Amino acid sequence: MKTRIYVTLKNGVLDPQGKAIHHALEGLGFGGVNDVRAGKLIELDLDDSVTTADIERMCQQLLANTVIENFRIEPVAG
Amino acid sequence: MKTAVIVFPGSNCDRDMAVALEQVTGKAPAMIWHRESELPEGVDFIALPGGFSYGDYLRCGAISARSPIITAVKAAADRGVRVLGVCNGFQVLTEAGMLPGALMRNATMNFICRDVSLTVANNNSDFTRLYQAGEQVNFPVAHHDGNFNADADTLDRLEGEGRVAFRYTTPINGAARDIAGILSEKRNVLGMMPHPERMIEPAHGGNDGRRLFESVLAAL
C-alpha cells in the first residue's frame, strides 16, 4: 500500500524558497502568478498492518515539524 | 568540569568545539557518537556542534534529533546538566523539542558566513554570566537556515521570561525579533546560531566567545 504525505508550510510562515521560485517564474516571463509556496511530498510504501494512526504518529514525530508545517495523508489507489 | 561533544554524521564543528572546551577547561571533552545511548558518568556540560548532520535531509537537525543519544541528552538536561547547541546543534535542540520554535531558511536565501555583532540580551544564565547585559560581542555565523521562527505567544513568552540570550545587533537572516540564541525554561539549555567556539583566541580575530565557556566553568 502506498501513501503520500504532503508537508506544507503553515499559513503566515515566510517561505523564502517559494519566493525565489516566484521570482524565477517572473524572470522567465510568466505573468499572473500571485504567490508560490514550496512543500514536500514523501511517499511511503507500507505493509497492510500499518494503520492511519501509525502514519499520523510518523508525521507528528518526524515527517513534519508541526511548529511550522502542516501535513496531509493521502492513500494512493492501486 | 567534565564535558562531552556529541558527534553526528555530518558534524563539522565538533573538533572546533573540542579545542575550545579543552582550552577553557584544561581537559579534552569526551567525543560521543550519536549512536551511543549513554553519556559519560558525571558529565557537567554537553555540546551539540555545528555542521550539516545527515546532509540537512528532511529538515536541518530533524534526523539527528531522533538519534539514540538525544534521549540521554534530554534526561541529562532534565537533571540540570548544561547543554549548548550551536548552529546545527541549535537546530537539533528545536527539532528535539528541547527548545521552542524552528530555524527556517534565511529570509534572504543566502548562506551567510561572516562575523556578526550580537547584543547580549540577558546575562542571567550559566552561559552568559560573564558578559554585561547589553554588551555587544562579535561571533562568526555560517548558516543557511538560521531564521528563527515561533508564534507570537512563544516569542512574547521567551522575551517576558528573559530567555532571549543573544540578538543580532542588526538583522541578518530574518530571525523573528532578531533572536540569535535562546534559553530553555530552566535556563540550562542554550541554543544559538553564532559560533562562540570559533572566537576564543586572538588568532580567531577575537575572543568574545571564550567567556561563554568560562561562564559555564565558573558556574560549576
Q: Write the secondary structure of chain A as one string of H (helix), E (strand) and C (coil).
A: CEEEEEEEECCCCCCHHHHHHHHHHHHCCCCCCCCCCCCEEEEEECCCCCCHHHHHHHHHHHHCCCCCEEEEEEEECC
Examine the pLDDT at A78 and tell me if it is beyond 80: no
Examine the pLDDT at B192 and tell me if it is beyond 80: yes
Examine the pLDDT at A16 and tell me if it is beyond 90: no
CA-based nearest residue to B176, from A37, A12, A8? A12
pLDDT band with cut points at 50, 70 and 90 for residue A54: very high
Per-domain boundaries in chain B: 3-219
Do residues B189 and B94 lie in contact, with contact meaning Cβ atoms separated by under 8 Å? no
pLDDT band with cut points at 50, 70 and 90 for residue A1: confident
Q: Report chain B's terminal Cα–Cα distance, integer Å.
A: 7
SS3 state at B77: helix
The answer, yes or no, to whether ipTM is higher than 0.90 is no
CATH of B3-219, one of 3.40.50.2300, 3.40.50.620, 3.40.50.300, 3.40.50.880: 3.40.50.880
Annotated catalytic, B34?
no
C-alpha cell at A61: 514525530
Q: Which residues constitute the domain of residue A44?
A: 2-76
Q: Which of A20, A62, A68 sits opposite B109 (nearest CB)?
A: A20
| Contact check, Cβ <8 Å, A14/B62 | no
| Contact check, Cβ <8 Å, B107/A14 | yes
% of chain B exceeding 70 in pLDDT: 100
Among chain A residues, CA nearest to B110: A16
Q: Which of A16, A61, A63 sits opposite B105 (nearest CB)?
A: A16
Residue with cell 567567556: B211
CATH number at residue A37: 3.30.1280.10
* Per-residue pLDDT reduced to its tens digit, B62-73: 999 999 999 999
| Contact check, Cβ <8 Å, A20/B106 | no
Using CA of residue B183, residue A59, residue A35, residue A18, what is the dihedral sign? positive
Q: Which of A17, A62, A67 sits opposite B150 (nearest CB)?
A: A67
Average per-residue pLDDT for chain B: 97
Give chain A's domain count: 1
| Contact check, Cβ <8 Å, B94/A67 | yes
Residue with cell 567525543: B31
